[in-house]
Homo-oligomer: A and B are copies of this chain.
Amino acid sequence: MTAYSELSGHFGRIAALSNAVGILQWDSDVMMPKGAAETRADSMALLHVLRHGLVTDPRIGDWLAGAEGDASLGTWEQANLREIRRVWTVETALPADLVEASSKAISACEMRWRQARADADFAGLLPYLTEVLNLQRQIGRAKGEKLGLSPYDALLNDYEPGGHSARIDALFDDLAAFLPGFTQEAMAVQAHRPALEPLEGPFATEAQRALGLRLMAALGYDFERGRLDISTHPFCGGADNDVRITTRYDEADFTKALMGVLHETGHALYEQGRPQGYLNQPVGAARGMSVHESQSLLMEMQACRSRQFLAYAAPLMREAFGGSGPAWEAEAMWRRYTRVEPGFIRVDADEVTYPAHVILRYRLEKALIAGEMTLADLPSAWNDGMKALLGVAVPDDRRGCLQDIHWSSGGWGYFPTYTLGAMTAAQIFDAACRAEPGILPGIGRGDFAPLVGWLRANIHGKGSLLSTDDLLTEATGRPLDAAVFKAHLRRRYLEEA
């Protein structure tokens, strides 16, 4: 056995364990009866401990040292070593007592958050969230020391390897300067369009599911390696070769679940398209959360809210639900799916106003991790930011700084990937359509093969071979900037509207 083959065998076992965790997590969210919660928590905690033991196995350092000098290794193997070293460095950066303290603080805070949100009671959450934040700052410092990064950037790197806040600051400042004025312009254009006609329901869950499955198939989802189910919070999860997505049906309105299915299908196509030969190795993993979100938003925002797609899909919707009247016309569906309306809630936001929600959260969490502001000041800072970026007056903390679970559940550094993903999606879709002129006409026929073929070759099949920057530069000719995203918004909401 060479050092490399020891490493790849070891990380194959880690993947086998992670796949078990992925299916159990899916089960917890989709299938598990509620009386099993404690028993399941014990199983998950044990598997996490076992996984941590494998990833921090002391032999890994020796194997890495041996393999990194091995001149016989090819490009993918070299990249795999780089990724293994990265994963191992991060995982060994934290003392066990810090991991345990953080895990306990998060469990307590998540539970408290559900009540605090319901009651709009920020003061009740404050001590729990303070504990989580303090531990996140310690984690950021510990990882940052190993990685040579600031605490915030060290946290960010868990979701966005190679990401730097200095770079994100520049991208987001650009957008933040653009969006408030642009939103006003888009709404002024929208005011001259016909009002949305009501879509008369109810829309049976089974019919919604059947249409979702039909469109998933059109997008190229492989049902032999995945499933569609129901959960309270839609997600894409599961395991290698078993990529499961979920949605949540509302019989009064099918449009959100349907677009949600297409969004998760974008995530799933990425997972199903990762390189088969390295599926259970770190180099075969998805590149990071901004690229992942780019693949869901590319499908949802770029492809499926296009006039081309809706011309194909509107008749299928009409047929699925026996609809009739002007609300079911493709153009009316397009107006519905591109409606702009500033609001309080991130997950309900449209394509134009969504980035403002993210930029606000990013700026706040960065300041909190850096110690430049305190949690006690969060509600007022939040409300001021919403006023400045979106022009809305937040009525209470339930619809303000208590709306998302991320901070309570320790997901500090995650938020920026949503909008990085939206920008990346625009840049990739633009490059793909230029390279393959058949993509947009294909989407108009429900034929996603040209698009997915291009994505397989340029994004999905690359796994973590390249850095995010190199991946994007190879695929689109340049690293990420805001220009293509802004051009996309201008075209969709001003010129073509």
Interface residues of A, Cβ cutoff 8 Å to B: 12-13, 15-17, 19-20, 23-24, 27, 31-36, 38-40, 42-43, 45-47, 50, 222-227, 239-242, 279-280
Contact = CB atoms under 8 A, between A and B. Distances in A.
B40 A242 contact: yes
Contact of A46 (B13, B31, B33, B241): B13
B223 A33 contact: yes
A225 B16 contact: no
A16 B240 contact: no
Contact of A39 (B39, B50, B223, B241): B241
A50 B241 CA distance: 23
Nearest to A46: B16
A39 B16 CA distance: 7
A40 B45 CA distance: 20
A24 B45 CA distance: 16
A291 to B, nearest CB: 23
Contacts of A226: 33
Contact of A16 (B20, B43, B222, B227): B43
A16 B17 CA distance: 14
Contacts of A227: 31, 33
B224 A39 contact: no
16 contacts: A16-B46, A19-B39, A19-B40, A19-B42, A20-B20, A31-B31, A31-B227, A33-B224, A33-B242, A35-B224, A35-B225, A36-B239, A36-B242, A39-B241, A39-B242, A40-B239
Which of A27, A39, A223, A279 lies at the interface centre, i.e. has the most chain B CB atoms within 10 A of its CB?
Answer: A39
Nearest to A37: B241
A224 B47 contact: no
Nearest to A42: B16
Given A20-B20, A24-B23, A242 B32 contact: yes
Of all A-B residue pairs in the complex, the 8 with the closest CB atoms, nearest first, are A36-B242, A35-B224, A35-B225, A16-B46, A20-B43, A16-B42, A39-B241, A16-B43
Nearest to A225: B35
Which of A12, A36, A45, A241 lies at the interface centre, i.e. has the most chain B CB atoms within 10 A of its CB?
Answer: A36
Contact of A239 (B15, B43, B279): B43
Contacts of A15: 42
Nearest to A224: B35
Contact of A24 (B20, B36, B46): B20
A290 to B, nearest CB: 26
Given A20-B47, A35-B224, 16 more contacts: A15-B42, A16-B39, A19-B40, A19-B42, A19-B43, A20-B20, A20-B43, A23-B43, A27-B27, A33-B223, A33-B224, A33-B225, A36-B242, A40-B239, A40-B242, A42-B280
B16 A241 contact: no
A366 to B, nearest CB: 37
Contacts of A40: 19, 23, 239, 242
A241 B32 CA distance: 10
Contacts of A38: 241
B24 A241 contact: no
Contacts of A222: 35
Contacts of A33: 223-227, 242
A80 to B, nearest CB: 18
Contacts of A47: 17, 20
Nearest to A229: B31
Given A24-B23, A27-B23, A17 B46 contact: yes
Contact of A45 (B16, B32, B35, B36): B16
Contact of A242 (B35, B45, B239): B35
Contact of A50 (B50, B239, B279): B50
A43 B50 CA distance: 13
A253 B43 CA distance: 40
Nearest to A240: B39
